[in-house]
Structure 1
């Protein structure tokens, strides 16, 4: 059971690395702003439609950035695997770290949707400026990463990693991320 929990922790760390790398790529094309702009992208029926600059940048990523939809899907599926994997990790017995990572992860996912300016648009949470959502998303991502890395290092002290163990955890991460 100890080794299974450690394997799950390693998969979570690798999923976090995927979330971090894809989020870094998406950051280059994202505009965290509530400023209302007219859409002028490839999708003809939306041309001239007023929307926030944040949502406009997401539509641009999806339609004009090479590999944009793939990276967004990878970011999204890795985030889901990260949150669901943390639940499994908690069930395997690492409650102290898992509950912190789970809470931070769920808040991180919600703040990610808030920074996209689509999920909370017509709710009271939509009144918060998009840059706040984006900043909260980045802060929570760093906090989740810190919790996962600290926990992984502590478990590696008790049970050192071996090459087959690392290969298995990388393989499971790839299956989990691309399987969703």
Structure 2
């Protein structure tokens, strides 16, 4: 059971790396602003519709940046797997901070939706400024990454990794993330 839990922990780190890399790419095209601008992109039915600059940048990312929609979907699916995997990981073992990490993942996901100004717009949470959501999203991601790496190092000290084990964890992570 300890080896299965360690494998899941390694897969979670793999998911986190995918989230980190895809989020880094997405950040280059993202505008964290709540200012209202008219849509000027290539999607004709929305042309001229007023929206936040953050949402406009996300639409541009999806419609006009090569591979942008794929990376946005990859970021989302790896984030969901990270949350579900952390819940399973917490149920399997002794990691005493697992529920705190799971809470950070949920907070990071909520902040991600708030930063895009997508699902929270028009709600009470939609009144929080977009740069605050974006900063919260980044801080939660860094905290989750630090907790996963520290826990993985502790488990590896108790039960050392082997090359086949590392190859299996990387292969399973890629299979699960790209299989969705």
Q: TM-score, normalised by structure 2?
A: 0.98
Partner of 1:54: 54
Number of equivalences: 180
Take 1:114 and 1:176, find their aligned partners in 2: how far apart are those partners? Answer: 27
Partner of 2:144: 144
Deviation at 1:19, TM superposition (A): 0.2
Partner of 1:163: 163
Take 2:21 and 2:158, find their aligned partners in 1: how far apart are those partners? Answer: 29
Partner of 1:93: 93
Take 1:167 and 1:34, find their aligned partners in 2: how far apart are those partners? Answer: 44
Partner of 1:42: 42
8 A contact 1:83–1:102 mirrored in 2: yes
Mapping of residues 1-180 of structure 1, within 5 Å: 1-180=1-180
Structure 1 consecutive aligned stretches of length 4 or more whose deviation exceeds 2 Å: none
Take 2:121 and 2:176, find their aligned partners in 1: how far apart are those partners? Answer: 31
Q: TM-score, normalised by structure 1?
A: 0.98
| CA displacement, residues 7-50 of structure 1 (integer Å, 9 cap, x when unaligned) | 01000001000000000000000000000001000011111110
8 A contact 1:97–1:151 mirrored in 2: no
RMSD (CA atoms)? 0.7
Structure 1, gaps ≥5 residues long: none
Take 2:176 and 2:106, find their aligned partners in 1: how far apart are those partners? Answer: 18
Deviation at 1:93, TM superposition (A): 1.2
Deviation at 1:6, TM superposition (A): 0.5
Take 1:40 and 1:119, find their aligned partners in 2: how far apart are those partners? Answer: 21
8 A contact 1:26–1:72 mirrored in 2: yes
**70-79 vs 97-106, which moves further:** 97-106
